[in-house]
Amino acid sequence: MRSDILLLKYGEVVMKGLNRSYFDNLIVRRVKNLLKTVEGEFTLEYAQSTLCILGNEDADMEDAAEKMKRVFGVASVCRAFRCEKSVESIRETVKEHIEELVGDAKTFKCEGKRSDKSFPLSSPALSAEIGGTVLQLMPHLTVDVNRPDVVIKLEVRDKYAAVHGGGEKGAGGMPNGSAGHGMLLLSGGIDSPVAGYLMAKRGLTLDALYFDSPPYTSEAAAEKVQSLAGALAAYCGRIFMHTISLTEIQETLMSACDERLFTILLRRFMMRLAEKQALDVGAAALITGESLGQVASQTLNALSVTNAVPEIPVFRPCIAMDKDEIVQISRKIGTFDISILPYEDCCTVFVPRHPNTRPTMEQILEEEAKLDIEGLVERAFATRRHKKITEG
């Protein structure tokens, strides 16, 4: 075993009561799955709301640390040095790694944290003791307890001690799968991958549904959506992606219905199909990237007409976000560069010149009365294909 370790500090799950172990187990399962994609072998030890990851000599701790930052439920990820639980051992570890711990800082403080109360020194006494050692080793440093350039943390835990310079922010949220199962309507745009990420962060397992419209949409457009699903899988594990073709529905709408209501009628078909697909795989909610007022089909009127279709809840986490806020998240999660690739989407194939932004339910039902809705839905549903997307 190597002495450098990773400490994963849990976030919101620590507030859970009796069912706490359910949430903890989901985090551990996700960590184990992600570590399978990292070189080396790893052992996990859990205690006191912290998961300690130990690697063998071949372990790529850098890669492991990066990947652990994508585990939902983890508030921070620290690269630390593990040693025995004695003042001398802590002192030796600080000496050995002093360059890495201090970097080019000019001021520092040591922060002891003794969760094992049988340890002979109190937390302040340990901080003072090791602070003295740091000053001897690095006489150019001065102590600043208020705003130090670097904080050397000395954690005395039940089974071991750990020394580190503080953690990096983890993915936060709730463990993958802890909140149930949702069906993400995933287009090739910027918003829907962000919507999926935000709901996965609150603990939903994701399936993704993509609507194509061959021959109007291309294979390249479908591959782009698969890449987006792959980027999401890096956070939430494997995703089943379903594809349904809307070609017949779109052609029928074009020939039979009022062009101004075309998009909204199409969106109602998307909702019917998405709900059917969700129930088929046991998902209990739909997720879309809609944002209030962003386009004609996302006015309050349009959304309420669309929302009237499904019985299961529709989560729209981007509803209150500005485009630049959505873009910021998409950059952070690595979907932006894929989303801006220029491929057509089924919604952009037949776009009405003057969409109705205030459709009423009467108008919509009048148009839908001209259609064999059940038949169109059945035939579209029969086109579905499935693909398992794994984390890259």
Helix (H) or strand (E) run with residue 143 in it: strand 142-143
Closest CA to 75 of 94, 92, 51, 54: 51
- Residue at 13: amino acid letter: V
Asked whether the beta carbons of 70 and 27 are under 8 A apart, the reply is no
Task: Select the residue whose beta carbon is closest to ligand ATP and give its number.
Answer: 189
CB of 265 to ligand ATP, least distance (A): 14
Task: Select the residue whose beta carbon is closest to Mg ion and give its number.
Answer: 191
Tokens linked to 173 = 């949220």
CB of 388 to ligand ATP, least distance (A): 18
Using DSSP, state whether 194 is helix, strand or coil: helix
> Quick one: 162 or 246, whose CB is closer to ligand ATP?
246
- Please choose which of Mg ion, ligand ATP, none residue 235 contacts, taking the beta carbon within 5 to 8 angstroms, the exact cut-off set by kind: none
Interacting residues of 191 by C-beta distance below 8 A, sequence separation 6+: 289, 290, 291, 294, 318, 326
CB of 253 to Mg ion, least distance (A): 20
Interacting residues of 387 by C-beta distance below 8 A, sequence separation 6+: 226, 240, 241, 243
- Residue at 132: amino acid letter: G
Evaluate the CA torsion angle 207, 208, 214, 219 in order and state its sign.
negative
- Please choose which of Mg ion, ligand ATP, none residue 330 contacts, taking the beta carbon within 5 to 8 angstroms, the exact cut-off set by kind: none
CB of 294 to ligand ATP, least distance (A): 6
> Quick one: 73 or 188, whose CB is closer to ligand ATP?
188
Helix (H) or strand (E) run with residue 332 in it: helix 323-332
CB of 331 to ligand ATP, least distance (A): 14
CA dist., res. 149 & res. 35, Å (int)? 32
Tokens linked to 57 = 């000599």
DSSP 167: P
CB of 311 to ligand ATP, least distance (A): 18
> Quick one: 197 or 210, whose CB is closer to ligand ATP?
210
Binding residues for Mg ion, rule: CB under 5 A, are 191
CB of 197 to ligand ATP, least distance (A): 12
Interacting residues of 121 by C-beta distance below 8 A, sequence separation 6+: 87, 112, 114, 129
Q: Which residue has the tokens 């172990």?
A: 21
Binding residues for ligand ATP, rule: CB under 6 A, are 185-187, 189-192, 209-211, 288-290, 295, 297, 345-347
